[in-house]
């Protein structure tokens, strides 16, 4: 029995997570898996009523769960960044979710903007460092709003932080038959201090995995190759900022935000799974949001909990729905959010 904390959040978040849970319940009905869901009312409404984002008591409660399943946060009534930073980023740091796992997988070739690329050609996973790098928040501003203004933003790379994300990437390959290579993506030729550390950490960790193939790409070359030869990649490990950028490129070549999924993972703690898209206030409440990314996020949760076969069943069902054109309007179909979730559940 897995205890899942559900944070539906704002906008379309509740609509799409409802479909993800529907699919998990369909899976549970036809497998050994069992889930118990508990809802946490966090987001704009709760914040506007109480002034609270995530309290320490809520964090202590969340720590008791096997995983967190999140929709999206962000609402036009609240200043941009308050909910995103105060909920999402806070949870990522509180639970030390130092891995951001982003699969880039083309499920149906009709949805990629790349010419002549089929399913197997676009199928790799980005392992992004999720807690340090340029996003650690080190820096400051001097003489603000004057002609002499100075702004710095420092890139934090700890040997421990870098090594653990690289080790996760190697373990990921070692645990799976279908992949054999880890590519480290950096800018070691210019960021000689920061990415020199990455290089040394990568070379050291690689020694423990003689059977895993190693590769290196500078980030600029990486973007070219992702467009021209995405089939060259299995698992790519990279720093926080480069990971942010290349995973958006990845989301587009795999078919767009409707299919992009993100896992914020602490292998020894509580991990959090979410669709990459936001709360889409422009379409909230209309029952037209595409639930596919949220459903694939639920599949990733099942996989990380240790049930790859069951996760595959969800992915296969999603793939079938795309083939059958049983999708919402953004993917070319004419189903509502709930109907799209029903169809995928029926395939399970």
The stretch near ligand NAI (CB under 6 A) out of 118-126, 161-169, 233-241, 273-281 is 273-281
Active site (annotated) includes residue 220: yes
Residues 288-327 touching ligand NAI, rule: CB under 6 A, are 289-290
For the CB of residue 91, give the shortest distance to ligand NAI in the complex, in Å. 11
Among residues 329, 330, 326, which one has the least CA distance to residue 345?
326
Residue 302 binding partner per list Mg ion, ligand NAI, none, with a CB distance cut-off of 5 to 8 Å that depends on partner kind:
none
> 3-state class of 14 per DSSP?
helix
> Which one from 135, 168, 172, 343 is the annotated catalytic residue?
135
Give the C-alpha separation, 265 to 194, whole Å. Answer: 23
Q: What share of the chain is helix, strand, coil (3-state, %, to 5)?
A: 45, 20, 35
Binding flag, residue 244, Mg ion (CB under 5 A):
yes
- Choose one: 113-121, 221-229, 242-250, 324-332; the region binding Mg ion (CB under 5 A): 242-250
Catalytic residue, chosen from 244, 287, 330, 342, is: 244
Q: Which of 220, 312, 324, 334 is catalytic?
A: 220
Stretch that binds ligand NAI, among 30-38, 72-80, 132-140, 156-164 (CB under 6 A): 72-80
Q: How far apart are CA 295 and CA 15, in angstroms?
A: 11
Q: Cα(259)–Cα(110) distance, rounded to whole angstroms?
A: 13
Among residue numbers 49 through 108, which ones bind Mg ion (CB under 5 A)? none
Catalytic residue among 187, 234, 326, 343: 187
Contact present, 74 and 275 (Cβ < 8 Å) = no
CA-based radius of gyration for the chain? 20
**Nearest in space to 264 (alpha carbons), one of 137, 135, 124, 98:** 98
Summarize as ranges the residues that interact with Mg ion (CB under 5 A): 244
Summarize as ranges the residues that interact with ligand NAI (CB under 6 A): 12, 16, 72-74, 80, 84, 88, 257-258, 274, 277-283, 289-290, 330
């Amino acid at each position: 029995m897995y205890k899942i904390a559900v944070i539906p959040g704002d906008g379309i978040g509740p609509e799409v997570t409802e479909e993800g849970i529907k699919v998990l319940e369909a899976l549970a009905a036809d497998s050994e898996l069992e889930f118990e869901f508990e809802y946490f009312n966090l987001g704009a409404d709760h914040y506007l009523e109480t002034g609270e984002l995530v309290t320490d008591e809520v964090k202590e409660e969340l720590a008791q769960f096997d995983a967190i399943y999140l929709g999206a946060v962000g609402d036009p009534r609240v200043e941009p960044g308050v909910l995103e930073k105060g909920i999402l980023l806070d949870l990522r740091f509180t639970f030390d979710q130092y891995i951001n796992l982003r699969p880039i997988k083309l499920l149906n070739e009709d949805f990629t903007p790349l010419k002549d690329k089929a399913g197997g050609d676009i199928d790799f996973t980005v392992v992004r460092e999720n807690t340090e790098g340029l996003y650690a928040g080190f820096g400051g501003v001097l003489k603000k709003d004057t002609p002499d203004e100075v702004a710095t933003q420092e890139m934090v790379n700890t040997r421990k932080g870098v090594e653990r994300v690289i080790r996760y990437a190697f373990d990921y390959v070692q645990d799976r038959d279908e992949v054999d290579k880890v590519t480290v993506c950096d800018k070691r030729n210019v960021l000689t201090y920061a990415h020199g550390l990455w290089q040394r950490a990568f070379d050291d960790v690689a020694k423990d995995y003689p059977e895993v193939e190693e590769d290196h790409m500078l980030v600029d070359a990486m973007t070219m190759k992702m467009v021209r030869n995405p089939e060259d990649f299995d698992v790519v490990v990279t720093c926080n900022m480069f990971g942010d950028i290349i995973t958006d490129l990845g989301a587009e070549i795999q078919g767009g935000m409707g299919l992009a999924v993100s896992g914020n993972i602490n292998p020894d703690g509580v991990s959090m799974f979410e669709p990459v898209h936001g709360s889409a206030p422009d379409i909230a409440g209309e029952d037209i949001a595409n639930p596919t990314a949220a459903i694939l996020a639920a599949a990733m949760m099942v996989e990380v909990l240790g049930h790859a076969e069951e996760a595959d069943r969800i992915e296969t069902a999603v793939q079938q729905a795309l083939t059958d054109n049983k999708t919402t309007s953004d993917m070319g179909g004419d189903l509502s959010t709930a109907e799209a979730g029903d169809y995928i559940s029926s395939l399970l």
